[in-house]
Amino acid sequence: MRQQYAVRSLVLIVGFAFVALAVIVQMIRIQNSEQAKIFLSQGDQYSGEFRMFYPERGEIYDRNGHLLAGNRTVYELGVNLSQMENPQTLASTLGTYLGLTYEDVYDQLTNSPKSWEYIVIQDYVGTETVTALQKLMQQKKDANDNSLSGLGFKPHFQRSYPENSLASNVLGFVTRDGRGYFGIEEKYNDLLAGNPVQVWVPTDPNRASELPKVPNGTTLVLTLNRDLQAQVENILDTSISNYGAENGAIIVMDPRTGDILAMATTPRLDLNNYTNYFSTYDNGSQYNRAIGMAYEAGSVVKILTMAAALDTGTVSPNTTFIDTGSIDVGGITIHNWDRKPWGQQDMIGCLQHSLNVCLAWISTQMGPQTFYGYMERFGLGHPTGIDLSGEAMGRLKVPGDTDWYNVDLGTNAFGQGVTVTPLQLMMAASAIANDGKMVTPHVLYSMLRDGHQYNVPSQYAGSPIRSETAHTLTDMLTVSLEGESSSALVPGYRIAGKTGTAQIPTDYGYDDTHTNASFIGWGPVDDPQFMIYVWLQKPSASIWSSETAAPVFSQVAEQTVILLNIPPDMVRNQFGSR
């Protein structure tokens, strides 16, 4: 009996062992078969996906931490065709919510190529619309209605400008493809955009740690003061309207550091509707005419001529000049702006009455080599190197150029025949306001990335004149303004400055009816904290800058001292003496 049980047990054991072995053999055979490789590769397709990670574009702030350019969430709205149950309802709903026609949406949903699983109905859909659609979907789901199944939303960022057109000429804009155009957005596009990363994203939760961490783009802090920028834009717009000017530009800079505190130009673009660019501008140089448009600035250039003459010792403030109303340079007769003789003048008088003849005489006394050497050192004919895209470099003809004539030595001395941008003149004049040291203007104050801050240091672009020359000329310009009771003066503050009324060159000589009115000034003269440049293009109320640009300078200076907390000279001196 026991023997029988033993045999049966053995048979059963062998039988089970055989079955188990067969299962194992079959498992190994299947796993190593050709089909298994195909199955594995098919499985891999669902184990994850290649996905492009776009970092959040860096934000842009003003120097006081006000957001000038940020990001907001918008949605790509699409339909998963394999999950779609009711194209009619989808077409009707999407047509209503997205402002599309039923036929268009229905056509997209039903006539797409069969290989397509997902189609985009509309991108950059706002949060409000998406929230309303999500609410409707939930209501239908609660009622066991699947007519909107397949509808999906993919969130992503879109550039947003909370201040709309404020400082648009400095900021530039970002198009839907994520590329920056003009201004800061173009100049620092790579920094702001960060580095997009394409990676394999596994669906296996055990491989969650393999998900990449994509750092955001660099956040930039600008030197701009938002409130001052708003005030300056407001003054510019009002002035253009009051004086009947075509366009204009105003820049406020700290002459000690080169920080651009405000830079206003016209026309400006609402950056949230950048597609209006082509209807607003004829060409790119108009986008920021403070840096992109060179023009003959006229008498404001006289301060550079005088600086060179003082620095070389060609003249001193007390040097006298007998003005006969004309001077011959290179065989061409040069006249004063009023074509009248002004008699005996010292150098302050020459600046105060803006005498072309006097300045032409000074440049001939210096000679072309010295004069153009100084103009080059002041940076004329070269870009300033400001960190904004689209800078023009103007034109300074020099001896040896095919279009340079002897008379240019005389006319260039009072700003005719030489083209500059407003910013170039500011940079050159910063040497006069800043003890002879010329600063490189810049808009970037600081960069922030991964919790670290990098401040952009001020850069000097050389010392074209001596410190004594800078002080002497500043005093001359201050006395000159005060002597003529200029409308550029600011009560309580000593200001140095110079007007510039320039005829406009055309293909047929100079236009007698229109001018470019400019003014450059800085203050307080004992401790310059701001430098302001005003340019009004073709003002019709008056052709003279003393009646247009000069009062605009005064208005801007008044707002500047308020917003930068610069006390009047008397108060500052009281504080200083304590």
Partner 1 sequence: MQAQATQIIHAYKQAPWRVQRQYVGAFLLAVIGISMIAALYLQVTARAAATGREIQEMRFEITTMQRANADLETQLANLTSTAEMEHRAQALGYRPVKPGELDYVAVPGFVAPEPAILLAAEDVTEYSQSLPSEYTQSLVEWLDERVKTGGY
Binding region for partner 1 (CB under 8 A): 56, 59, 61, 63-67, 70-73, 127, 155, 157, 160, 162-164, 166, 204-209, 211, 219, 221, 226-227, 230, 446, 448, 451-455, 457, 490-492, 558, 561-562, 565, 567-568, 571, 575, 578
Residue closer to partner 1 (CB basis): 114 or 452: 452
- Distance in Å, CB of 40 to partner 1, minimum: 20
Residue closer to partner 1 (CB basis): 24 or 208: 208
- Distance in Å, CB of 265 to partner 1, minimum: 17
- Max CA distance (Å), the chain: 150
**Ramachandran quadrant class, 183 (left: phi over 0; alpha: psi -120 to 50; beta: rest):** left
Which residues have a Cβ under 8 Å from the Cβ of 240 and sit 6 or more positions away? Answer: 246, 247, 248, 266, 536
Orientation of helix 549-563 relative to helix 226-243, angle to 10°: 160
- Distance in Å, CB of 519 to partner 1, minimum: 19
Residue closer to partner 1 (CB basis): 413 or 532: 532
Residue closer to partner 1 (CB basis): 43 or 65: 65
- Distance in Å, CB of 123 to partner 1, minimum: 16
Residue closer to partner 1 (CB basis): 63 or 382: 63
How is the beta sheet containing 530-537 ordered, strand by strand? 260-265, 247-253, 530-537, 509-523, 496-506
- Distance in Å, CB of 158 to partner 1, minimum: 10
CA gap 222, 217 in Å, rounded: 16
DSSP 511: E
CA gap 498, 394 in Å, rounded: 20
CA gap 536, 245 in Å, rounded: 6
Q: Are 515 and 245 spatial neighbours (Cβ–Cβ below 8 Å)?
A: no
CA gap 170, 391 in Å, rounded: 11
- Distance in Å, CB of 114 to partner 1, minimum: 32
- Distance in Å, CB of 473 to partner 1, minimum: 27
- Distance in Å, CB of 429 to partner 1, minimum: 24
- Distance in Å, CB of 242 to partner 1, minimum: 18
Q: Measured between alpha carbons, how far is residue 117 from residues 95, 111, 134, 150, 203 in Å?
A: 21, 12, 21, 10, 20
* Residue that is written with structure tokens 């985009």 in the block: 120
Orientation of helix 422-433 relative to helix 467-483, angle to 10°: 110
- Distance in Å, CB of 46 to partner 1, minimum: 16
Residue closer to partner 1 (CB basis): 162 or 330: 162
Residue closer to partner 1 (CB basis): 58 or 497: 58
CA gap 223, 391 in Å, rounded: 18
Phi, psi of 309 (to 5 degrees): -65, -40
Amino acid letter, 446? S
Pick the closest to residue 311 from 434, 466, 474 (CA basis).
466
Q: Measured between alpha carbons, how far is residue 121 from residues 106, 324, 508, 561 in Å?
A: 10, 77, 56, 53
**Ramachandran quadrant class, 157 (left: phi over 0; alpha: psi -120 to 50; beta: rest):** beta
Question: Could you give the 3-state DSSP secondary structure of residue 510?
Answer: strand
Residue closer to partner 1 (CB basis): 355 or 490: 490
Residue closer to partner 1 (CB basis): 294 or 556: 556
Which residues have a Cβ under 8 Å from the Cβ of 89 and sit 6 or more positions away? Answer: 147, 148
Give the strand pairing for 219-222 and 60-61. Answer: parallel
Residue closer to partner 1 (CB basis): 123 or 558: 558
Amino acid letter, 94? L
Residue closer to partner 1 (CB basis): 185 or 408: 185
- Distance in Å, CB of 16 to partner 1, minimum: 14
- Distance in Å, CB of 559 to partner 1, minimum: 8
Residue closer to partner 1 (CB basis): 17 or 38: 17
